[in-house]
Amino acid sequence: MRLAGKVALITGGASGIGRATVEKFVREGAKVMIADIDLPSAETVVADIEATAPGATAAVRVDVSDYAEVEAAVQRAAEVFGKLDVIFNNAGIAGGRPLLEHDPERDYRPLVSIDQDGVYYGILAAGRQFVRQGTPGVIISTSSIYGEQAAELSFTYSAAKAAVISFTRSAAYELAEHGIRAVAITPGRVGTPIINQFSEELRATFASEQLRDRLTEPSEIADVVAYLASDEANAINGTVVHVDDGYSAFKQRLELPVF
């Protein structure tokens, strides 16, 4: 088990990629603090896991747009499990509309406060905890393919996810002297509740944007995150890891001409 003896805090851990990563980390031997704004759902995940891995998880409510709550969640993880080794800054929201139709209070501030500020707060709080402990640590943050390109209805979302990439590179640079690694992942189209709420036709369109013509499973993202959190990934630092099934590698498939 590649994460045996490690303690992780996973934000947005009650659903989607977050929940899949909680389950993967536990299978790999880690203890996990599930941090989510929806505490009942986080506690349900704890109850589900308790049957096969007693004591491996605990839950804490956190609004990642509030630094004090993120800091408290980090401290809670260390109190419950004795230390912190990994933070996965995964909590996020999506949404958007054409730029000229924006209401800043609706279409800008919420996405920036959660998708951007929430990651900054996680990096800062976890980094400080690792230094207090005097131990190495790993910071993994969820960006997006949209963080590296323009896309429909995503003016604010893309900007926030681009900031996550910049945060990661800067954190890796500044925290390396403390033995702390920072890595960002850029998922493509993943079958999470955010995407699964859409029509079958739209989901098929999303799937067609990836090389294998299907949505990525949350568990497939979790597999990559678990590897990045492990000591096997010690050489990966300050890096953006694409987990997009080729979304960023091509535009669309064309009917080949006859020569």
Question: Which one of 157, 173, 227, 247 is the catalytic residue?
Answer: 157
Helix and strand totals (H; E) in the chain: 10, 7
- DSSP H stretches of helix in 87-234: 104-107, 109-111, 117-133, 155-175, 193-196, 200-208, 218-229
Q: Is 121 a catalytic residue?
A: no
CB distance 120 to 172 below 8 Å: no
Please report which confidence band the pLDDT of residue 204 belongs to, taking 50, 70 and 90 as the band edges. Answer: very high
Phi, psi of 117 (to 5 degrees): -60, -40
Q: What is the pLDDT of residue 207?
A: 92
CATH 3.40.50.300 assigned to domain 7-244? The reply is no
Please report which confidence band the pLDDT of residue 29 belongs to, taking 50, 70 and 90 as the band edges. Answer: very high
pLDDT > 80? residue 258: no
**Domain coordinates of the chain in residue numbers?**
7-244
Query: pLDDT tens-digit profile of 63-120?
Result: 999 999 999 999 999 999 999 999 999 999 998 899 999 999 999 999 999 999 999 9
pLDDT > 90? residue 165: yes
Mean pLDDT of 110-136: 98
In DSSP terms, which residues pair with 155 in a beta bridge? Answer: none
Please report which confidence band the pLDDT of residue 42 belongs to, taking 50, 70 and 90 as the band edges. Answer: very high
Dmax (CA) of the chain = 68
Sheet containing 86-89: order of strands: 57-61, 31-36, 7-11, 86-89, 137-142, 180-187, 239-243
Highest average pLDDT, of 23-27, 149-153, 191-195, comes from 23-27
pLDDT > 90? residue 194: no
Share the mean pLDDT of the chain: 96
